[in-house]
Structure 1
Amino acid sequence: MLLASPRPSYGIVGQDIVIFGQSMSAPWPARRSIISIQLLTQLGLDLGLSLDRCLHGTGLSPLQLASLNGEIDAERELNLIANLIEALPTVSDLGLQAGRRYHLTTYGAWGYAILSSATVRQAAELGLRYHGLTYAFTRISLSVADDIVSLNFDDSALPPALHDFIVQRDMLGALVVVRELLGSALPLLALELRQPAPADVSPFIAAFGQIPRFGAAHNRLGFTADLLDNPLPRANPQLVNACEQQCQALLARHQWHQGVAGRVRQLLLQSPGQLADMEQVAERLHLSSRTLRRRLIEEGTSFRALQDEVRQALAEELLAAGGLSLEEIAERLGYGELSNFIHAFKRWKGITPGRYQREAIV
């Protein structure tokens, strides 16, 4: 758990979000760009909070926050959201204020891919295909019925204390993207939220242009279905292809951190030379060794395979960086004998680590 305060703290074990020992399925990737945390931190600062108050319990330093290309665990963002809600209880439209800050350009390759799409339909297909690269904690889907195309926001996996903030942020953030994509404020044919009606609905009118139907069965934004085949003003097929390739690479990198296997990899990376065994890793994940073994089998892997995978990745990185002898690298990776490291590396790459290092440095 990340926070020591009495209120709930949020941690992710595999793809489950854990709240006081309870877990629920988490539809979002375990890793995400740091941009969202930067936006939320700035929101807190603009509303009078200190940087320390915003980052309390997230494990992030101001230096890490300033990173332009950093990635963070999703749980850190959940903790920051909890900080904002706790510190600003009288700001009833906090989620809406957050949602306004998520412009197309804040999404990197994902944003430019949909911005350069030929039609709204292509943009929607690309956006949903790489939904894991957005900052949403709701599961977003698209449906068409009765000449209305709806963006649906499944909130079933959200922590209850953060529910309203996240739904408001995700829905308004999506509407901001649609408006910027089209270059105009398209009227909504449906605006529904599952949350109860607040005492003051004026912030919702200002944000969405109309009063939502509160207490609805689903969270959704509805537009005319004719919208899907509208051409987009910034269509650029070459840029779409280039951005989609970037999206594929980013998703592949995020998947390395997903699931229980992803958490095991992260823990092994934190102390590669200490040869953490399954019992130690299981304890860190609040699981029994038996449960950990079963969960890894369900994901098609094993603890030993992950240990091997992490060692290989670290070996390649250390060899390419230079500055360390083969003996030092072998020791850092937990090999008692250099010969064992050489044998393992030849099994991974088909060449000796010495040759790999020479070719990498050249």
Structure 2
Amino acid sequence: MLYANRMGITMDHRQINNLWVNGLLQTFSALGLDVAALCRGIKSIEQGRLAPGQQVDLVEARTLWHRAVATSDFSNLGVEVGLRLSPRSTGLLFPLLLHSPSIRTAVELLVRYQMLISQNGLFRVNDISSSNSLLCTYVPARSSVAVHPQHSLSVITAALKTLGSISSRRIRASLCLPAGLDAEGISALLQYPVQAAGELYILELACEGMDEPIAGRDEHLYQLTLGYAEGLLRAQNAGQGFLDQIKHHMDGEQLVQTDIDTVAAAVGVTRRTLQRHLDDQGTSFRKLKESLLKERVLELLVARHLPIAHIAEALGYADVSTFHRAFKAWFGVTPRQFKSQIGS
């Protein structure tokens, strides 16, 4: 059944992610990066800002980060960005955590609602080590473009900064990060112990009085923001379920040839109804098809290392030159240049 937000749901979950991306772009600019060059090919970003109601997909977000790291002079760009991001970038999440009943509850809410902000990954509470500590893992989402560690570090750093603010700096942390990262440099920036070993992002959070009330909290404001956040999460999940349903009907061989009338018939609605529901999710058939094409192209190019001619044929492009033009319109570079920028 198609999802629609015309049944009394007025909340727009896209706005939270929009705030985060625009905060990220502003921070890149403040750090001296050429935002216009970073955003080349991302049509929803104009003049260094993400248009209202628009989102970047995971492929675009990760491409943005790979380009940023490649052109930045900062060895730990993710930490630098996370420390500078404004609390406003988290939308309603900051006031929700600020007025939570306790630090422990705030961490649990951060885990639950993180996906409203960023689709890059999610936090999981692994274990309760003691009454005053929590063990968490940050798990990057799977995608045709591999996550850059600095991307994940930006999210983790921003989360630590937020938790530090609401706990009046009482919270302590120690991190175990993937091998190869600059543990000493990251530790110096965060002022927390850091190890770089293994493959995971593990955070141990400790705070005396983990379950004590947060000073100055407002229970009424907490309940209002909690209800709002839950509504946003439901809207996001329902919207994503609808989009996944449509992408399922779009996907397959000769994806380039798939048209809206065929998909509308497959889900049992008219073309106009399908487009209206897509509009409710801040997208269109063309945008969704383009997003799916990019996922498939990068899966075949970067993950499976297939030749360009095979990719073009499999997806239904008329010829290799047509595929090259489409790819350059998306990413601003040729497939060969993109692969050298991103890696596998």
* TM-score grouping bracket, smaller chain normalisation: 0.5 to 0.7
Output the amino acid matched with 1:143.
Answer: N
Question: Does the CA-based 8 Å contact 1:30-1:257 persist in structure 2?
Answer: no
Number of residue pairs the alignment of both structures matches: 264
Identity %: 16
In structure 2, what is the Cα distance between the partners aligned to 1:266 and 1:72?
17
Shift of 1:146: 3.4
In structure 2, what is the Cα distance between the partners aligned to 1:181 and 1:128?
16
Shift of 1:284: 8.4
Question: Does the CA-based 8 Å contact 1:57-1:79 persist in structure 2?
Answer: no
Question: Does the CA-based 8 Å contact 1:40-1:98 persist in structure 2?
Answer: yes
Q: How does 1:322-341 map to 2 (within 5 A)?
A: none
Secondary structure in structure 1 of the residue aligned to 2:194 = coil
In structure 1, what is the Cα distance between the partners aligned to 2:246 and 2:271?
7
Output the amino acid matched with 2:122.
Answer: R
Secondary structure in structure 2 of the residue aligned to 1:213 = strand
Output the amino acid matched with 2:19.
Answer: I
In structure 1, what is the Cα distance between the partners aligned to 2:163 and 2:279?
44
- 1:159-197: per-residue Cα shift (whole Å, max 9, x none)? 675331122112211111110111115322x31002324
Q: Does 1:186 align with 2:151?
A: no
Which runs of 5 or more residues in structure 1 are unaligned? 1-28, 268-277, 317-362
TM-score normalized by the length of structure 1: 0.60
In structure 1, what is the Cα distance between the partners aligned to 2:24 and 2:254?
29
In structure 2, what is the Cα distance between the partners aligned to 1:222 and 1:139?
16
Secondary structure in structure 2 of the residue aligned to 1:34 = helix
| Residues 1:111 and 1:236: Cα distance change in structure 2 (over 3 Å) | same
Q: How does 1:53-72 map to 2 (within 5 A)?
A: 53-62=37-46, 65=49, 67=51, 70-72=54-56
Question: Does the CA-based 8 Å contact 2:129-2:135 persist in structure 1?
Answer: no
Q: Which residue in the other structure is 1:7 paired with?
A: none
Secondary structure in structure 2 of the residue aligned to 1:144 = strand
| Residues 1:176 and 1:136: Cα distance change in structure 2 (over 3 Å) | farther
| Residues 1:87 and 1:251: Cα distance change in structure 2 (over 3 Å) | same
Question: Does the CA-based 8 Å contact 1:41-1:54 persist in structure 2?
Answer: no
In structure 1, what is the Cα distance between the partners aligned to 2:96 and 2:178?
31
In structure 1, what is the Cα distance between the partners aligned to 2:270 and 2:151?
34
Q: Which residue in the other structure is 1:168 paired with?
A: 153
Output the amino acid matched with 2:159.
Answer: A
1:82 alignment partner, one of 57, 60, 66 = 66
Secondary structure in structure 1 of the residue aligned to 2:227 = helix
Secondary structure in structure 1 of the residue aligned to 2:223 = helix
Shift of 1:153: 0.8
Q: Which residue in the other structure is 1:112 paired with?
A: 95
2:22 alignment partner, one of 34, 38, 49 = 38
Q: Which residue in the other structure is 1:243 paired with?
A: 225
In structure 2, what is the Cα distance between the partners aligned to 1:246 and 1:55?
31
- 1:118-172: per-residue Cα shift (whole Å, max 9, x none)? 1123223332232321226222011334324112112363667533112211221
Output the amino acid matched with 2:268.
Answer: R
- Bigger-Rg structure (1/2): 1
Q: Which residue in the other structure is 1:144 paired with?
A: 127
In structure 2, what is the Cα distance between the partners aligned to 1:72 and 1:104?
20
Shift of 1:96: 0.8
Shift of 1:215: 1.2
In structure 2, what is the Cα distance between the partners aligned to 1:50 and 1:233?
41
Output the amino acid matched with 1:52.
Answer: A
Q: Does 1:98 align with 2:62?
A: no
Q: Which residue in the other structure is 1:310 paired with?
A: 274
In structure 1, what is the Cα distance between the partners aligned to 2:176 and 2:257?
39
In structure 1, what is the Cα distance between the partners aligned to 2:64 and 2:34?
12
Output the amino acid matched with 1:44.
Answer: F
Q: Which residue in the other structure is 2:216 paired with?
A: 234
Which runs of 5 or more residues in structure 2 are unaligned? 1-12, 281-344
Secondary structure in structure 2 of the residue aligned to 1:100 = helix
Secondary structure in structure 1 of the residue aligned to 2:159 = helix
Shift of 1:208: 2.3
C-alpha RMSD of the superposition: 3.9
| Residues 1:212 and 1:238: Cα distance change in structure 2 (over 3 Å) | same
TM-score normalized by the length of structure 2: 0.63
Question: Does the CA-based 8 Å contact 2:179-2:199 persist in structure 1?
Answer: no
Question: Does the CA-based 8 Å contact 1:105-1:111 persist in structure 2?
Answer: yes
Question: Does the CA-based 8 Å contact 2:177-2:201 persist in structure 1?
Answer: yes
Shift of 1:44: 2.9
Shift of 1:221: 1.5
| Residues 1:282 and 1:308: Cα distance change in structure 2 (over 3 Å) | farther
Q: Which residue in the other structure is 2:304 paired with?
A: none
In structure 1, what is the Cα distance between the partners aligned to 2:192 and 2:39?
34
